[in-house]
A and B are shown apart, each in its own frame.
Chain A
Amino acid sequence: MSLSAKEFEKMALEQTDLLYRLARRLTHDQLRAEDLVQETFLRAFKARNTFRLEEYGIRPWLVRILHNLHFSRSDREKKQPKAFEESALDAVSPGQNTSPIDLTSFDAMDERLVHALEHLPEEYKEVLLLWAVEEFSYKEIAQSLDVPIGTVMSRLHRARARLSEQLKDYAKEEGILRE
């Protein structure tokens, strides 16, 4: 079923928050996230004639555009020559990520849980967000990210294990978990 431009626009714009949340997880930066969301909408709108309203609607289609756009940009950036300081930052381990986290959206949240989640690898965060917050099915996630369903499952399990590991100290401090 093909949609009119107006119908397509309405359906697509309803997903702005979803795309923004995903872009934030992938880019770690508000401006880059906003840029990615805009570019995603632009590409989606240009290609709207190729979109077909199938079983899962527009969400996996938009997520796939954003995902591909982000990773093709990242690949391009990796091929660019880097200044010394930037290369040195690559040596920082994932647990030492120094990028600031905007806590204004997390009023009801302890900073450490946010940090633990934000320090997971992009691939894990992507799957976690789509599964837990956006309530995608495994099949929708697999379709969106172009990976087998088994990979979706294993990323969820690994994300959980990594998160538990990172939260152990916090749990001990708070008396949630005994030594």
Chain B
Amino acid sequence: MQSDELQNFDDPGLKKACCLAWAKECCTKALRDRVAQLIAEEAVTGPIKPPAAFWQRPFAGVAAAAVVLLVSGVAIFQFGGPGNTALAAIDPTLAANLVQTHDHCCHSHGSHQLANIPLDDYTTLGQRLSQRLHQPVISASLPESGWKFRGGAMCPVGGTPSAHLIFDQGVASVSVFSMPRSVYDKNTRYQTIVNNHPMAGFVDSRGAFCLVASDNSKLTPERLAALRDRMQASTIVANYEPQRETRETVAQLLH
């Protein structure tokens, strides 16, 4: 079998059925804590050492020199280009669309909150946005002091309906986007600068999520990535027409 044939196989019905059944399943916080504790305890006792220390092996000097050269090369490649802080790929068109929606909404002075939802009720807001988007959304406060929540609404990103939260600090703003998985075709985590806007996000089986900061904010892509990591656990999933969804999936699977 040719590798091209392997890449071309696709079965959206089967994929959707599996995602509906399994993708939302997460481990409990208790398990996460136990694993973290186990690893911390293991770190104290230390890992099993390899049979021989590196410096005791033949040609260690040559290997070390090669490693230094390799690391230098990678460092120059990664950080050498002016303004290039991208650590992983993101589609340039998607990135440009995110910046455009961020700028447009942040510069608008009207309300950015869904009707009849109090500003401090992130849970209800998340549920409403999730119902509309038919997927999990991030709905939580920005985990850094000084940022005031302006509101959350459905906004188009390059024509794709997306959940969009805005936080302000003086004249600077941060957007938190939750978009359908279909906007980007592979899982990724990235932090970068696009048109002077720091950006950090991730794409996984639940959807595509991105934080975008204004060009006048003092946030770096690294700080934004840290906020992304902390907000990642704040996804809210709402129930939506389960029977219809299942019927459509089964129909797709059987035809």
Q: Give the B-binding residues of A (Cβ under 8 A).
A: 5, 9, 12-13, 16-17, 19-21, 24-25, 34, 37-38, 41-42, 45-50, 105-110, 112-114, 117-118, 128-129, 131-135, 138, 149-150, 153, 156, 159-160, 163-164, 167-168, 170-171, 174, 176-177
Contact = CB atoms under 8 A, between A and B. Distances in A.
21 contacts: A5-B43, A9-B43, A13-B32, A16-B27, A16-B31, A34-B28, A45-B39, A45-B42, A105-B26, A108-B24, A110-B243, A112-B246, A113-B20, A128-B14, A128-B18, A131-B18, A132-B14, A134-B205, A163-B253, A168-B254, A170-B250
B87 interface: no
A19 to B, nearest CB: 8
A38 B31 contact: yes
A162 B179 CA distance: 33
Q: How large is the interface on B (under 10, 10 to 19, 20 to 34, 35 or more residues)?
A: 35 or more
A129 B6 CA distance: 17
Contacts of A128: 14, 18
Contacts of B23: 133
Interface stretch (B47-55, B109-117, B142-150, B207-215): B47-55
A108 to B, nearest CB: 5
Contacts of A118: 21
Contacts, number: 152
Contacts of A135: 186-187, 205
Identify whether the interface residues of A are mostly helix, strand, loop, or mixed. helix
Given A13-B35, A41-B35, A47-B47, A105 B25 contact: yes
Contact of B17 (A17, A131, A163): A163
Contacts of B15: 131-132
B83 interface: no
Given A38-B31, A108-B237, A133-B205, 4 more contacts: A20-B26, A20-B27, A133-B23, A176-B247
B21 A153 contact: no
Interface of B: 1, 6, 9, 11, 14-15, 17-28, 31-32, 34-36, 38-39, 42-43, 47-50, 186-187, 205, 237, 239-240, 242-243, 245-247, 249-251, 253-254
Count chain B CB atoms within 10 A of each CB in A134, A135, A167, A177 and give the residue with the most.
Answer: A135
A165 to B, nearest CB: 10
Q: Which 3 A-B pairs have the closest CB atoms?
A: A132-B18, A20-B27, A110-B246
A168 B253 CA distance: 10
A47 B20 CA distance: 35
Count chain B CB atoms within 10 A of each CB in A9, A42, A113, A168 and give the residue with the most.
Answer: A113
B209 to A, nearest CB: 14
Nearest to B12: A132
B25 A21 contact: yes
A134 to B, nearest CB: 7
Nearest to A107: B239
Count chain B CB atoms within 10 A of each CB in A17, A107, A112 and give the residue with the most.
Answer: A17
Contacts of A13: 32, 35-36, 39
